[in-house]
Amino acid sequence: MRVPVYIIIASICLSSCADWKINKGSPAQESLTPQPETQKFNLDKNSDSTLAQWAGYYEKIEPGFSLADFELTSTDSLRIMQGNVLGSFDQNFEAIYEPFLIFNPDKSMYLDFDSNNWGIDESGEPSFSPDQEVNLVDMKRKTVSRLTYRGPSQWVEDAFWENDSTIILLENGYEKQPVITKLHLSDQLVRTYTYTDTLDLQTNYTNIRFRQKGINVKDHEE
């Protein structure tokens, strides 16, 4: 029996389509697949003095520590809400926190994760709250916005601005597994990078930061 030509052509087309679906590793299909976001923290230690100090501290106490070992573990929305601290423009702002404010490059905004987290006790040393708010203060608009929050198990040790719209939080916690968090203000995203190992020692980095700002504090035992 003679098979009509149009049936043969249709069979060839169907067979070709089936082969394309099965061969998912073909170059044509791979070019259509969106490339995944970089899975490693991608800033060099020497790109910022704060990052260099923080990484250098851990390299000293923990052989083998490297920023290359921070991997992206989550991406989330940045949920901004009203802040609960006073801006430096307020007459009731306490001057003791001024050295701890972290300004963006053009000085129009700053980060404050200290003023609701600790105060000075009768002995002249900082007394800490278990809660820590990370607040963004806009000097032009005179507004205070809470960017994120930390509880007693994890805390921000230091921070810096990668640029005018990206904040980097350098963190640690009771589980001794450092975290680097990127806050993207422009697209309101949070990217969290977690160290792939755990530290052998508890950190005293916060105390170093306090001493640099002129506040005496005792180291806890390792």
Domain tally for the chain?
1
Asked whether residue 31 is assigned to any structural domain, the reply reads no
Asked whether residue 152 is assigned to any structural domain, the reply reads yes
pLDDT(2) > 50: no
The amino acid present at 41, given as its one-letter code, is: F
Task: Kindly tell me the burial class for residue 218, based on how many C-beta atoms sit within 10 Å of its own C-beta (0-12, 13-18, 19 or more).
Answer: exposed
Cα–Cα dist 143/136, whole Å: 8
Asked whether residue 143 is assigned to any structural domain, the reply reads yes
Could you list the residue range(s) of the whole structural domain that residue 55 is in? 45-212
Asked whether residue 19 is assigned to any structural domain, the reply reads no
Confidence of residue 32 (pLDDT cuts 50, 70, 90): very low
Reading the block at residue 32, the tokens are 């259509």
Asked whether residue 8 is assigned to any structural domain, the reply reads no
Phi, psi of 12 (to 5 degrees): -65, -40
Asked whether residue 21 is assigned to any structural domain, the reply reads no
pLDDT(43) > 60: yes
Percent of the chain exceeding pLDDT 90 equals: 74
Asked whether residue 35 is assigned to any structural domain, the reply reads no
Tell me the CATH number at 177: 2.40.128
Asked whether residue 175 is assigned to any structural domain, the reply reads yes
pLDDT(72) > 60: yes
Over residues 15-35, the mean pLDDT reads: 37
Contact of 222 with 202, CB cutoff 8 Å: yes
Residue for token digits 């129009």? Answer: 108
